[in-house]
Amino acid sequence: MVVSSFVRWRGFVSRGLRQTLLAMSAVLGLLALAPAHAAATFPGRNGLIAWSYMVNGNEGPTPPQYGLLKVAGFGGGDHSLRSCSTFGYCEEWADVSYSPNGRQLAWDIYTPGASRVILADADGPHAVTVVVGFDPSFSPSGRRLIYVRPYGHIYQIVTSNLHGKDVQKLLGVTTAADPQISPNGKQILFARGTTIWIMDANGRDAKPIIASGKAPDWAPRGTEIAYVGVKSARVYTARPDGADRHELPADGLCYPPSCGGGSNSNFAIFSPNGRYVAFDDIDGSGDPGVYTMPANGGAAKGIDSVWTDDAGGSALGMSWQSLH
């Protein structure tokens, strides 16, 4: 996964030794995060869960395969949503995000020289917008995108309209990932290195709130956030100011010393009705899968596992569709 993420970031390395070193510094900061991403959750009824995936990621004669899947939030058959062959190139797919009304889907993909955000109808076969950048999510109105783009030796958190026009810079930092606008549109969560930050929607008053966390997600009412601990790889919730942090116990998954597996979550997202959290983890046998559990912790229900250790499979990003 680290090698795969490095491939994604290599397109951002600037020319010249000094610029290269600066860019590599930013890369290493982001590689401290697992290369998987959550996407903003919007209030509504629970719809499908979509996630990006990779199989055959281990070294070997079979090249990695990337795509998107969607499945009912509490289990069901897989439905192929996209494959990389749809667009003629098969590089890494990562973050994925449903629009507030669940009718559009944005995701990023590495193409030679850059990462690009692709916006399409959730069930349509063709892309309708392509924007240079990565880690996309939607504004609460659904009329704008927020994402990260390279800018010299730093990265900028920006917004634009759905056609990639009217770009407005919010913040420029050495590392930035997973910008997520609050349901009321007033604040933005984002990851910087191994720290979760929050700032006003205009990019001002940025401050750290979680010292060791990644992949933040807003609860649909905006009263809580979910995230994954960098060191523990467990799922947590907290208030938006970082206070009242709690680990969510995922009953039914077996961790050392009881089992040979171990917690390995990379993202956690709230359901649109706020009652559940979806997350990725590995079971007692070390096999990865996608699960749901109550928003305050409890029985973990496996909703799908389409990859195995033998195939080197991984989930790379996830979003839960809101229905109205």
- DSSP string of 72-113, one letter each residue: ETT----EEEEEGGGTT----EEEEEE-TTSSEEEEEEEETT
**CB–CB of 229/219 below 8 Å?**
no
Compute φ and ψ for 30, nearest 5 degrees.
-80, -25
Please measure the distance between the N-terminal and C-terminal CA atoms of the chain and give it in whole angstroms.
Answer: 36
The contacts of residue 161 (CB under 8 Å, 6+ apart) are 143, 144, 145
Compute φ and ψ for 155, nearest 5 degrees.
-125, 145
Classify burial at 80, counting beta carbons within 10 Å of its beta carbon; exposed 0-12, middle 13-18, buried 19 or more.
exposed
The per-residue pLDDT for 287 is 72
Half-sphere exposure of 137 (CA within 13 A, CB side): 29
Residue 209's identity, in one-letter code, is: I
**149-184 as b/e, with b when 16 or more CB fall inside 10 Å?**
bbeebebbbbbbebebeebeebbebebbbbbbbbbe
**Run means of pLDDT, 10 residues per run, the chain, 324 residues:** 32 32 32 57 91 63 63 59 50 80 87 80 71 93 95 94 94 94 96 96 97 96 96 94 94 67 81 94 76 92 62 74 92
- In this structure, the chain runs to a length of 324
Whole-model pTM: value is 0.82
The per-residue pLDDT for 33 is 37
Q: How far apart are CA 200 and CA 189, in angstroms?
A: 9
**CB–CB of 191/176 below 8 Å?**
yes
Q: Which element (helix H / strand E) includes 123? A: none
Q: How far apart are CA 220 and CA 44, in angstroms?
A: 8
Q: Tell me 253's DSSP state.
A: -
